[in-house]
């Protein structure tokens, strides 16, 4: 085979925060006889929009409501290449010569499957590997311990991939089942090569949380059992001791990875954080909200969503989950330092606004101020009879507690062409002197100070928020691998 064609298959669903990096790593390959087959499981975010702008010459886009492995099978079926490489939507090829190096190895070896190496990274730190997963020491007996070669490092002859399909019975361990069948049942020849193929993001489907680890172990056991091989839960659970070694033998010299400039406009972020309120652009649409414990607890619980024009300011000690190099900005400082341009001629406050706070806004900003009272209750009751059209030159302040104010802002965004919204909570009352200012020793724990009013209700809400935060952070792992943009 002189002109070997490589089919790269990527499955994705709601991957708009990282798929631009994946696509960029394929586009920059020096070897050009590549087709990129992308199976999108009907994403509801910007994933499909980003995929359509993928600049590789040979691409096949399939929209199909499928699981990961069903999508891989569909991609393999549609492929026309000599060899298959699976590249997950949150992973990237190691460098621009990766496919060229793969083809050189294919020409040197007669094996049907080549096994390359994989490095892992956290939080978009592509050059700082946390784990090195090598294929060179893999032996078939390791299957009994639940071990397999790195799947994202495997280059598989297309005839083999089309013969041994990925089982849709397994949500996580279909790759284990594939290798088990290939090497133990069909005795396919394989060879380990000393080549890093993929940079793989930590926290994938198999390591997402504790439940994923349990499901993975159970599926590995079932794969061995269903294929009539010896199986033991005890041996399978011992695989974690072997994986620990991957953290100690890291490759120290890792090439830099930079997204291509023509792909940078396709990047999407979990959080866009503004460090200086005066960098807020009043000529554009925006929703500005505090990034604090209340928001993070609501985010990991699914009570608030991230969307295109949502911005944050850092508020509270829990913002360290997003970045350690960031300082708290209280809401009262946002109001105190904010400069509203002349073209904004009206401020509308939705929610509570005492006379003293209203007069403060009028005196400070010298704008017309109107107040819209809202009913007490959950968000469905608040928006039930609300049909408000935001004017082009209007600034809207919402004084509800989180997550109600963010939910109201999202509702208004969907029904308004123009919007400039700040979810300001109780900060207007503090900066105006309606409420007593927070003591300096509670600067980073302002929520404790506020418990002195409506103590029972606020304490209950705080405990629920903290519970959601703990579950989301440590069990659901929803605060890992965040893509953050700082607006300076």
In this prediction, residue 323 carries a pLDDT of 79
Residues 292 and 232 in one domain: no
Greatest alpha-carbon pair distance for the chain in Å reads 82
DSSP per residue, 268-304: --SEEEESSGGG--TTS-EEEEEESHHHHHHHHTTSS
Q: Can you read off the two tokens belonging to residue 48? A: 């499909």
Q: Is residue 228 domain-shared with residue 125, that is, in the same domain?
A: yes
Q: What's the CATH number where 99 sits?
A: 3.90.550.10
Q: Which of 264-273, 388-397, 438-447 has the lowest mean pLDDT?
A: 438-447
Q: Among 261, 296, 331, which residue terminates a domain?
A: 261
Q: Residue 292's closest CA among 411, 438, 402, 457? A: 402
Instruction: Give the domain-ending residue among 239, 261, 283.
Output: 261
Residue 353 sits in which domain range? 269-487
**Mean pLDDT score across all residues of the chain:** 92
Is residue 296 a part of any domain in this protein? yes
Helix extents (H) in 64-205? 68-78, 98-108, 158-163, 174-180
pLDDT above 70 coverage of the chain, percent:
97
pTM: 0.87
Instruction: Flag whether 1 is in a domain.
Output: no
Residues 384, 283: one domain?
A: yes
pLDDT of 240: 81
Question: Does residue 396 lie in a domain region?
Answer: yes
Compute φ and ψ for 67, nearest 5 degrees: -80, 175
The predicted structure's pLDDT at residue 435: 86
Place of tokens 């809202």: 374
* 213 and 255, same domain (yes or no): yes
pLDDT band per the 50, 70, 90 thresholds, residue 134: very high
């Amino acid at each position: 085979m002189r002109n070997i064609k490589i089919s790269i298959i990527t499955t994705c669903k709601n991957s708009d925060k990282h798929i631009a990096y994946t696509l960029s790593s394929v586009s920059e390959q020096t070897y050009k006889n590549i087709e990129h087959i992308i199976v999108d499981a009907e994403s509801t975010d910007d994933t499909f929009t980003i995929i359509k702008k993928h600049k590789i010459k040979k691409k096949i886009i399939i929209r199909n409501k499928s699981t990961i492995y069903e999508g891989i099978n569909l991609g393999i079926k549609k492929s026309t290449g000599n060899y298959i490489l699976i590249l997950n939507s949150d992973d990237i090829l190691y460098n621009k010569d990766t496919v060229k190096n793969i083809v050189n190895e294919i020409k040197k070896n007669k094996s049907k499957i080549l096994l390359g190496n994989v490095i892992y990274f956290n939080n978009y730190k592509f050059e700082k590997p946390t784990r090195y997963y090598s294929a060179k020491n893999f032996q078939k007996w390791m299957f009994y311990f639940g071990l397999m070669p790195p799947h994202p490092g495997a280059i598989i002859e297309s005839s083999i991939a089309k013969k041994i399909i990925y089982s849709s019975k397994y949500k996580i361990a279909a790759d284990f089942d594939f290798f088990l069948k290939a090497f133990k049942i069909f005795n396919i020849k394989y060879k380990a090569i000393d080549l890093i193929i993929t940079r793989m993001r930590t926290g994938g489907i198999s390591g997402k949380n504790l439940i994923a680890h349990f499901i993975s172990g159970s599926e590995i056991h079932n794969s061995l059992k269903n294929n009539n091989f010896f199986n033991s839960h005890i041996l399978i659970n011992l695989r974690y001791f072997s994986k620990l070694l991957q953290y100690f033998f890291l490759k120290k010299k890792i090439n830099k990875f930079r997204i291509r400039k023509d792909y940078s406009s396709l990047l999407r972020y979990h959080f866009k954080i503004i460090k200086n309120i005066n960098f807020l652009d009043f000529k554009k649409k925006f929703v500005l909200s505090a990034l604090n414990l209340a928001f993070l607890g609501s985010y990991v619980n699914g009570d608030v969503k991230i969307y295109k024009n949502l911005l944050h300011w850092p508020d509270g000690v829990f913002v360290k989950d997003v970045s350690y190099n960031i300082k708290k900005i209280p809401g009262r400082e946002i109001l105190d330092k904010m400069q509203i341009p002349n073209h904004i001629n009206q401020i509308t406050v939705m929610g509570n606004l005492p006379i003293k706070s209203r007069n403060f806004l009028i005196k400070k900003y010298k704008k017309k101020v109107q107040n819209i009272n809202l009913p007490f209750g959950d968000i469905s009751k608040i928006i039930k009879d609300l049909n408000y059209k935001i004017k082009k030159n209007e600034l809207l302040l919402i004084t509800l507690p989180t997550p109600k104010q963010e939910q109201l802002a999202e509702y208004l965004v969907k029904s308004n062409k123009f919007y400039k919204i700040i979810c300001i909570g109780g900060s207007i009352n503090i900066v105006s002197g309606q409420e007593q200012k927070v003591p300096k020793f509670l600067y980073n724990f302002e929520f404790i100070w506020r418990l002195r009013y409506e103590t029972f209700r606020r304490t209950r809400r705080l405990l629920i928020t903290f519970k959601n935060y703990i579950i989301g952070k440590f069990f659901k792992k929803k605060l890992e691998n965040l893509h953050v943009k700082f607006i300076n």
